[in-house]
Each structure stands twice: as structure tokens, then as C-alpha cells.
């Protein structure tokens, strides 16, 4: 019997996250220790932790790692790093140091690991951070990511639940990368679709964060494994609802075609189960629903911003070269958290 050849890409990225429902049940059981300097912990499902060291300095800490979602190890390294670094940007912070987290099979070619780490290190450097070490484990499957520490002024933290009535909602990257990677895994994604997905996933949210910081941003999160709608619901909390304009949603153009072929993940279905009770679709195609539930790897920032500033911010975001848009607005709490039409 032949020993099975290790497979590099089995379908990873943020589609490999535990479902939001499952995770919440576990987290609820863990006792929480109060510390007044922990400005952002896991109370509000935020992206990273923010801890105040002094009146004008706080650290932002985050970590993220996952299995490969693309075949090329170098590209995977870039994407995993961009994804891990993103949480710091979603808080409005600045990256300082990063540590590698690696799981790698002993039987696999070490050059592959070299390529992954090279891709990751380049993204850390692009972020303006220093790669300061790491930790590796021999494991059955490849996983890679970073533990990242950044800094931020304690008064200038973007909470992910800070939105206000009347705000516009901006999304800085296209949705659908989970669907495209799934199509690619079964050999059916077009080169153009995959190229755009890779470009989007490997683009640092640094640039978008620098732009939105210049405007009256009230809330910010990055869209990752739980999909657009779950992250939006978290952002809205119990106080607000959102009206989403389906025509304004940026997505990778091939997605509706791939949805029709059912290149859909378990993660997308878990996301649907998690928030479908809070969402109402009016005259939306099945493809729109699936795109909004699709788990994103290294997705864009979802920003709640003073309405007056929206158009100007969007013009600037467009210069970054990725599909983006003003996707809706924050309104008084209605029957549903989100109405998409």
C-alpha cells in the first residue's frame, strides 16, 4: 500500500474556522477576569485585544493562523500574514512585532516551509513590523499564521460595535473569495477570478485603514470567516439595524456562476445557520445570499462612518485598486438586524 502523499491545500483559510455558534458556546463557559486596562477583550466579539499601558499608549494583540487555501506556498504565506495583521488594522492600530506560528509535516519538503515563511515575512515588512521569532510544531497538516502586537492610542480605538444611526457602511474589498477558492479547489475557477481573489486576500488592510482614519469613522471590523452578514450583525449589536443595497456590494464577478454550480463551503452554510434569523432578503437572488454568507479569508474592512464623509472616503479607497463600495446604512433597530434589498 502506498503511503499517501501529503496534500498541501485541502481547502483552508478562514473556511476552516470553527462555526460562530460552536465557538460562542465554549467561550461562554470561560470565566472572565476583569482588568480596567483591558479596553477591548472578547466581550464584544472584537478582532483583537487592546490593553492600556499608559494614558497615551495601548497595545493591540491578535493571532490568527489557518490551513492553506491556495496551492502556492509563497502566496499562502502572504495571505495568512495579511489576514493575521488585519486584526490590528481593524482596531486602528499600527503593527510593531510579529511571531510566526507554524504547523508542518515532517515528511514534507522544507523548501515549501521556506516559501511560506518568506511570503509571510514580506507582508510583515510591508506592514512596517519586525518579525521577531516564532514557534513550530510537527503536525499532520500545514498551518501558518502570525501572532501580532501593535500599538494604538487608547482614545483612538475603532471598536467593532461603535456604529451610529445614520452612518454609511463601507466595505473595502470584494466578497466571494471563499466561493472562488472552493471553485479553484475543484479545478473550476477562472484565472481572472483566482487572480482577483489572491490579490484581494494578500492586500494589507493597512492602506484602507489609513484612509478611513482620516474620516469620522465610528466602527470598524474586518470581514473574515463568519462572512459579511455575521460580522455586520456583530457590529450592529442590539441597538441598530442596517439596510444593505444588494447592487452596491462589491464581489468577484464570477461568483454568481460558481454559486450556481454549488461550489459552496460548509463554512458558508454554518454562517447562514448562525445569522439567518436576523436577516431578511427582499428580491435577492440566491447568489447574493451566498455571497453575503461566504466565509472570507483576509477580507476587507467593514466601516461604519459619518454619512457625509462616505463618498469622499470611497473615492480614496477606489485608488487602492480593489472593488469596494458603500454597501448600506445604519438605521434604528427594526424587526431584523439586517435587510438586504
Partner 1 sequence: MRLDERGKQCPLPVIEAKKALEKAEPGTIVEVVVDNEIAVQNLKKLASHKGLESTSERISSQEFVVSIQAGTGDGPVQSGSSGQSAGPGKNGDAGQSVMSGQGAAVDSGDVRGEQEEGEISCQPDIRDKGMVVVLSSDQMGQGDETLGRLLMKGFVYALTKQDKLPGTVLLYNGGARLSCQGSDSLEDLKELQAQGVEILTCGTCLNHYGLGEKLAVGAVTNMYEIAERMSGAGKLVRP
Q: Read out DSSP for 86-115?
A: HHHHHTT-EEEEEEEEEEE-TTS-HHHHHH
Cβ atoms of 117 and 102 within 8 Å: the answer is: yes
Minimum gap (Å) between residue 244 Cβ and partner 1: 14
Q: How far is the CB of 108 from partner 1 (least distance, A)?
A: 14
Count of chain residues binding partner 1 (CB under 8 A): 39
Taking CB under 8 A as the rule, which mask of x and - marks residues 221-260 in contact with partner 1? -----------------------------------xx--x
Determine the Cα–Cα distance for residues 183 and 30; give it in Å rounded to an integer. 38
Grid cell listed for 133? 521569532
Whole-number Å distance between alpha carbons of 224 and 163? 19
Distance CA 287, CA 150 (A): 38
Annotated catalytic residue within 9, 14, 255, 324: 14
Q: Is 9 a catalytic residue?
A: no
22 is an interface residue for partner 1 by CB under 8 A: yes
Q: Nearest approach, Cβ of 145 to partner 1 (angstroms)?
A: 14
Extended strands (E) in 127-264: 130-138, 143-152, 168-171, 217-222, 240-244
C-alpha cell at 22: 460552536
Which span sits near partner 1 by CB under 8 A: 159-167, 211-219, 235-243, 268-276?
Answer: 268-276
Interface mask toward partner 1 for 280-319; x: CB under 8 A: -xxxxxxx-x------------------------------
Q: Is 186 in the site for partner 1 (CB under 8 A)?
A: yes
For residue 188, how far is the Cα from the chain centroid?
24
Query: How far is 243 from 236, CA to CA, in rounded Å?
Result: 11
> Of 24 and 213, which has the nearer Cβ to partner 1?
24
Instruction: Provide, rounded to whole angstroms, the least separation between the CB of residue 235 and partner 1.
Output: 22
Residue 74 binds partner 1 (CB under 8 A): no
- ∠ at Cα 292 (286, 298), nearest 5°? 140
Catalytic residue numbers read 14
Residues that bind partner 1 (CB under 8 A): 1, 3, 10-11, 15-19, 21-22, 25, 140, 182, 186, 256-257, 260-267, 269-270, 272-273, 276-277, 281-287, 289
Amino acid at each position: 500500500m502506498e503511503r499517501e502523499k501529503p496534500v498541501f491545500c485541502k481547502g483552508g483559510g478562514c473556511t476552516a474556522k470553527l462555526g460562530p455558534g460552536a465557538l460562542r458556546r465554549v467561550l461562554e463557559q470561560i470565566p472572565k477576569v476583569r482588568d480596567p486596562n483591558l479596553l477591548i477583550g472578547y466581550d464584544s466579539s472584537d478582532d483583537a485585544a487592546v490593553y492600556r499601558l499608559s494614558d497615551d499608549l495601548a497595545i493591540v494583540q491578535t493571532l490568527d493562523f489557518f490551513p492553506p487555501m491556495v496551492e502556492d506556498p509563497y502566496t499562502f504565506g502572504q495571505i495568512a500574514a495579511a489576514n493575521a495583521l488585519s486584526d490590528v488594522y481593524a482596531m486602528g492600530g499600527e503593527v510593531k512585532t510579529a511571531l510566526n506560528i507554524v504547523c508542518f509535516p515532517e515528511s514534507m519538503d522544507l523548501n515549501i516551509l521556506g516559501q511560506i515563511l518568506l511570503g509571510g515575512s514580506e507582508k510583515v515588512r510591508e506592514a512596517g513590523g519586525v518579525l521577531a521569532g516564532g514557534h513550530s510544531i510537527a503536525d499532520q497538516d500545514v498551518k501558518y499564521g502570525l501572532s501580532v502586537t501593535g500599538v494604538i492610542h487608547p482614545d483612538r480605538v475603532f471598536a467593532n460595535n461603535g456604529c451610529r444611526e445614520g452612518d454609511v457602511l463601507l466595505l473595502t474589498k470584494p466578497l466571494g473569495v471563499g466561493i472562488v477558492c472552493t471553485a479553484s479547489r475543484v479545478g473550476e475557477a477562472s484565472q481572472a477570478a483566482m487572480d482577483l481573489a489572491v490579490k484581494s486576500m494578500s492586500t494589507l488592510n493597512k492602506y484602507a485603514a489609513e484612509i478611513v482614519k482620516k474620516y469620522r469613522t465610528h466602527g470598524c471590523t474586518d470581514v473574515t470567516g463568519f462572512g459579511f452578514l455575521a460580522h455586520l450583525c456583530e457590529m450592529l449589536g442590539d441597538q441598530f439595524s442596517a439596510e444593505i443595497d444588494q447592487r452596491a456590494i462589491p464581489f468577484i464577478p464570477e461568483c454568481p456562476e460558481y454559486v450556481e454550480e454549488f461550489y459552496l463551503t460548509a463554512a458558508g452554510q454554518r454562517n447562514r445557520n448562525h445569522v439567518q434569523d436576523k436577516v431578511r432578503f427582499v428580491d435577492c437572488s440566491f447568489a447574493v445570499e451566498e455571497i453575503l454568507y461566504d466565509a472570507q479569508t483576509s477580507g476587507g474592512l467593514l466601516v461604519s462612518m459619518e454619512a457625509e464623509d462616505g463618498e469622499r472616503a470611497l473615492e480614496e479607497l477606489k485608488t487602492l485598486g480593489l472593488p469596494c463600495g458603500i454597501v448600506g446604512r445604519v438605521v434604528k433597530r427594526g424587526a431584523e438586524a439586517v435587510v438586504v434589498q
